[in-house]
Chains A and B, each alone.
Chain A
Amino acid sequence: MQISVRDRMMGLAGSILRPFIYLVLTLPAVIVVVTSFTAGTTLNFPPEGFSLRWYRAALSSDVFMPALWMSLKLACLTMVLAVAIGMCASFVLDRCEFRGKALFRTLTLSPLIIPMVVIGLGLLQFMAWIGWTQSLSRLVAGHILITIPYVVRTVSASLVLLDRNLEQAAMNLRARPAKVLLRITIPLLAPAMVASAVFAFVTSFGNITLSIFLGVANRTTLPVAIFTYLEQSYDPALAAISTIVIALTVGILMLVGRLVGMEKVA
């Protein structure tokens, strides 16, 4: 009897707490989205009236649009390269024995622990020292560094669970190593690869700390552009561009969800 009362109390507490948590999680986004449709000229909540004027302003802005393209290019390059490099690192960690393996594992995961400001400062000094000045490649290098841990962790977890007998069975059926990789290993790791690609993309796309250090003056990323813009003016174009970013991110996540959902394996 007592247990059932306690259960009911817990259930009740849960049903009160849950909407609150949802609210806290979504409120910032909701406020930004709602504000973006304002007809007024200041970034205030609640908005005054309804218009799309700030979307027109954002989409024709010569600050936001180049920065958005820069961010998209950067996130795509980072995603592809981080997954490729991270996959290789995961394979080595899973299948090879060598001296200093533990150190190597710690190093691949260390960008998660080291404060990003420190990484940014270190990279900035290093790049200045060797004379590396090209903005996009500097950003790509930095972003790969901070997204690799996500890839290594996700893919390693999947590799541990991968049945090595499957690869041996394929080899027994006359498949050469390259064929085993393409037909067996990679398809079975696909969910982990897609998941880590999404992580890498989103992390890169939303990163601001590292981009502030590594971006070169007027060739910078969207988060940095928004941040800089905010220091000068406080108009609803910020909300509009932010809403576009939110829509993009949600769109990608939904697309990936469907893709991974479809090829879900055992």
Chain B
Amino acid sequence: MTEKKAECVVELKGLRKVYGASIAVDNVTLEAKRGEFLCLLGPSGCGKTTTLRMVAGFIEPTSGSIRIEGSEVSNLPPYRRDTGMVFQNYALFPHMTIAQNVAFGLENVGMDRGQRTKRVAEMLDMVELGHLAARYPRELSGGQQQRVALARALALRPAVLLLDEPFSNLDAQLRVRLRQEMRRVLERMNITTLFVTHDQEEALMLSDRIAVLNKGCIEQVGTPEDIYERPASSFVAQFIGSCNVYTGDVRDGVFRSAGGLALPASGVAPGSHTLMIRPEHLEPVSGEYEGPSFPAIVESVDYFGSISRMTVRVGSDAVLVDVRSTGGRSSRAVAKAGEAIKVGIRPGGLRLL
């Protein structure tokens, strides 16, 4: 084994896909390192699935290069690329048993029967479905089908695993459980993974790094913490979690939005800026509070159990503020609609671009 730990397994350079007049993927450049779980995150139609399908070879790029394990594959057909894919609908072969599904790829590369049987058993044990080997896909639940699809994709030990929204067809509780299980399996195999999703929670929980896509372009690439805490654009800030975003001017150390919000912004160059602040960095405070704060009128309060989210108004700007439930006091009881309150800013919460 080579010691090159940080070696790139997948390299996309200037990848573009144009359909007639519309650009599906525009100049995407990305690298996935060995063993890395890299997520392509974005709203539907942002080009993430197109990108994944170009890596698998189902869609021919208009221009740009795709390298897997250092060699150019953009001109190779899918069956000559070292990838394993899990489809959104799993695409299990309905006329084959679970074992035959998993063995299909092994047959195609000419693995002999003895080894094949062993590998199939090993893969099915890994996803804890060994007892269902002789069943047909339609006899399995959605969650089980997803695990078979994963076992089938991994059976060939591909250089890169491609996951196309593998959790989107499952109900919410199962989704969380299978997410954890998939992470366990993939960590054990230490396989490089490209993962496409529109679900930010999934992306934050599973990924080593996330690439946020919007309208075919990469908005930001970074660790989940980078993406969440230090969004590079207002699109990223608003797509991941909830975020208050305002445009305005900074003068004399104060940011003033067009709507009337004024917040301290010391040490920032004067001029026009975008200000972002997440609702959890704001809190209602008492009149004696001395930190940075602003007065506002409560417009509505939405109760979510562990928190309540208030919409407050400053001038014509709406601001989201989270209130946490504390021992014995429900978050809902803090303020009522129409009340005037003071909103405090937690240190480090403001972000100006």
How many Å from the CB of B182 to the closest CB on chain A? 18
Which of A163, A168, A174 has a CB less than 8 Å from the CB of B109?
A174
Query: Is A175 touching B79 in the complex (CB atoms < 8 A)?
Result: yes
Residues from chain B with a CB closer than 8 A to the CB of A176 are 79, 108
With A165-B87, A169-B85 in contact, do A175 and B93 touch (Cβ < 8 Å)? no
How many Å from the CB of B52 to the closest CB on chain A? 11
Query: Is A172 touching B83 in the complex (CB atoms < 8 A)?
Result: yes
Which of B78, B84, B91 has a CB less than 8 Å from the CB of A165?
B91
* A166 lies within 8 A of chain B by Cβ: yes
How many Å from the CB of A60 to the closest CB on chain B? 47
Main SS class of interface, A: helix
Query: Is A171 touching B138 in the complex (CB atoms < 8 A)?
Result: no
Q: How far is the CA of A163 from the CA of B91 in the complex (A)?
A: 8
Residues from chain A with a CB closer than 8 A to the CB of B152 are 169, 173
- Bits for B130-164, please: 1 = Cβ < 8 Å to A, else 0: 00000011100000000000001100100000000
* B56 lies within 8 A of chain A by Cβ: yes
Q: How far is the CA of A183 from the CA of B93 in the complex (A)?
A: 10
* B222 lies within 8 A of chain A by Cβ: no
Residues from chain B with a CB closer than 8 A to the CB of A171 are 57-58, 77-79
Residues from chain A with a CB closer than 8 A to the CB of B349 are none
How many Å from the CB of B96 to the closest CB on chain A? 9
Query: Is B94 touching A188 in the complex (CB atoms < 8 A)?
Result: yes
Query: Is A188 touching B91 in the complex (CB atoms < 8 A)?
Result: no
Which of B58, B105, B136 has a CB less than 8 Å from the CB of A168?
B58
* Interface size grouping (class) on chain B: 20 to 34
Q: How far is the CA of A175 from the CA of B104 in the complex (A)?
A: 8
How many Å from the CB of A6 to the closest CB on chain B? 39
Residues from chain A with a CB closer than 8 A to the CB of B4 are none
Q: How far is the CA of A94 from the CA of B153 in the complex (A)?
A: 28
- Bits for A222-266, please: 1 = Cβ < 8 Å to B, else 0: 000000000000000000000000000000000000000001011
* A184 lies within 8 A of chain B by Cβ: yes
How many Å from the CB of B107 to the closest CB on chain A? 9
- Bits for A171-203, please: 1 = Cβ < 8 Å to B, else 0: 111111001000110011000000000000000
* B89 lies within 8 A of chain A by Cβ: yes
- Bits for B6-48, please: 1 = Cβ < 8 Å to A, else 0: 0000000000000000000000000000000000000000000
How many Å from the CB of B334 to the closest CB on chain A? 50
* Interface size grouping (class) on chain A: 20 to 34
Closest A residue to B105 by beta carbon equals A173
87-124 of chain B: CB within 8 A of chain A = 87, 89, 91-95, 104-105, 108-109
The number of A-B residue pairs with CB atoms under 8 Å apart is 67
How many Å from the CB of A93 to the closest CB on chain B? 21
Residues from chain A with a CB closer than 8 A to the CB of B137 are 266
Closest B residue to A263 by beta carbon equals B95
With A168-B58, A173-B156 in contact, do A266 and B87 touch (Cβ < 8 Å)? no
33-79 of chain A: CB within 8 A of chain B = none
54-100 of chain B: CB within 8 A of chain A = 56-58, 77-80, 83-85, 87, 89, 91-95
Residues from chain A with a CB closer than 8 A to the CB of B83 are 172
Query: Is A266 touching B138 in the complex (CB atoms < 8 A)?
Result: yes
Q: How far is the CA of A263 from the CA of B95 in the complex (A)?
A: 8
Query: Is B93 touching A172 in the complex (CB atoms < 8 A)?
Result: no
Query: Is B58 touching A170 in the complex (CB atoms < 8 A)?
Result: no
Q: How far is the CA of A168 from the CA of B77 in the complex (A)?
A: 11
Residues from chain A with a CB closer than 8 A to the CB of B56 are 168, 172
With A171-B77, A173-B156, A174-B156 in contact, do A188 and B95 touch (Cβ < 8 Å)? yes
Residues from chain A with a CB closer than 8 A to the CB of B84 are 172-173
Query: Is B58 touching A184 in the complex (CB atoms < 8 A)?
Result: no
Residues from chain A with a CB closer than 8 A to the CB of B78 are 168, 171-172
How many Å from the CB of B218 to the closest CB on chain A? 25
Query: Is A179 touching B108 in the complex (CB atoms < 8 A)?
Result: yes
How many Å from the CB of A183 to the closest CB on chain B? 8
With A175-B79, A187-B95, A265-B95 in contact, do A170 and B104 touch (Cβ < 8 Å)? yes
How many Å from the CB of A68 to the closest CB on chain B? 37
With A165-B87, A165-B89, A168-B78 in contact, do A173 and B104 touch (Cβ < 8 Å)? yes
Query: Is A174 touching B79 in the complex (CB atoms < 8 A)?
Result: yes
Residues from chain B with a CB closer than 8 A to the CB of A188 are 94-95
How many Å from the CB of A266 to the closest CB on chain B? 4
Q: List 19 A-B contacts (CB under 8 A).
A: A163-B89, A163-B91, A165-B87, A165-B89, A168-B58, A169-B152, A170-B104, A171-B57, A171-B58, A171-B77, A171-B79, A172-B79, A172-B83, A172-B84, A175-B104, A175-B108, A176-B108, A188-B94, A265-B94
Chain A positions near chain B (C-beta within 8 angstroms): 163, 165-166, 168-176, 179, 183-184, 187-188, 263, 265-266
Chain B positions near chain A (C-beta within 8 angstroms): 56-58, 77-80, 83-85, 87, 89, 91-95, 104-105, 108-109, 136-138, 152-153, 156
Known pairs A165-B87, A169-B92, A188-B94; list 7 more (Cβ under 8 Å): A165-B89, A166-B91, A171-B57, A172-B84, A188-B95, A263-B95, A265-B94
